[in-house]
Amino acid sequence: MESFPQTLEALPAEPGILKTLAACVAGALVPGLGHALLRKWDRSLVFLGSISMLFALGLYLNGRLFNPDFSDLFSTLKFIADAGNGSLYWFSWLRGLGTGDPAAYTFDFGNVFVYTAGLLNMLVVVDAFDIAQGRKQ
Amino acid sequence: MNNHFLLMIVFSALVSVVFTFIAKNGAKERSKYFLYLFGSFVLLSILVGWLMYPFPF
């Protein structure tokens, strides 16, 4: 026969789906905002500062923001990595920033900075998901 | 800002601090882990760069 929890504390706390969804969407839009919603202020500030700085440096170093282009695998992957920056990418792209200069000395560096910022932000969203689900503190 | 080494240091520091805050809690633990990651980034970059030096890429 299945045993039931004898105390209220023994019942598993159900993670809030809305809270998890809000944290993930917010984190995907603005780096660190998901953690801010979860009241992880130190992480939120560090993620916002570091990822924004990587992205801004990437543009400053003549990196390119790749367009939504799904014609081949590498173009798709470049776009996905760039778009991981969320609103940073979309606002910059819509304003015509990040045209890139392949002849510039730092073109490749700039691209790597922007890709890495986007990929790190995806990881940060996964971290916000884990925290919202109560899997980590 | 055309100094490759400086760019690599800045990149390593920013990426290391994000990984540190994802992986660790507590100031002391974070400090140690950040130094470990940052040092690994810098030393391994120099090592790989040195190993790639003879190749005509």
| pTM of the predicted model as reported, rounded to 2 decimal places | 0.87
**Mean local confidence (pLDDT), A114-120:** 97
Write out the residues of chain A at the interface with chain B, using a CB-CB cutoff of 8 A. Answer: 42-43, 46-47, 50-51, 53-54, 57, 60-61, 105-106, 109, 112-113, 116, 120, 123-124, 127, 137
Tell me the pLDDT band of B42, cut-offs 50, 70 and 90.
Answer: very high
* Spatial CB neighbours of A14, under 8 Å, sequence gap ≥ 6: none
Q: CB–CB of A116/B15 below 8 Å?
A: yes
- Here the tokens at position A107 are 């073109």
**Mean local confidence (pLDDT), A53-72:** 94
**ipTM > 0.95?**
no
Q: How many CB pairs under 8 A join A and B?
A: 39
- Judged by CB atoms closer than 8 Å, whether chains meet at A53 and B14 is answered as yes
B23 → chain A, closest CA residue: A127
- Judged by CB atoms closer than 8 Å, whether chains meet at B18 and A60 is answered as no
pLDDT, chain B, mean: 93
CB contact burial A56-70 (16+ within 10 A = b; e otherwise): ebbbebbbbbbeeee
Tell me the pLDDT band of A15, cut-offs 50, 70 and 90.
Answer: low
Residue B48 distance to chain A (closest CA, Å): 17
Q: Quick: pLDDT tens for A63-86.
A: 999 999 899 999 999 999 999 999
B23 has a chain A CB within 8 A of its CB:
no
B51 has a chain A CB within 8 A of its CB:
no
- Here the tokens at position B26 are 């507590």
pLDDT at A136: 85
Residue A123 has pLDDT above 60, yes or no: yes
pLDDT at A57: 96
Q: Rounded CA gap, A19 and A7, in Å?
A: 26
pLDDT at A87: 95
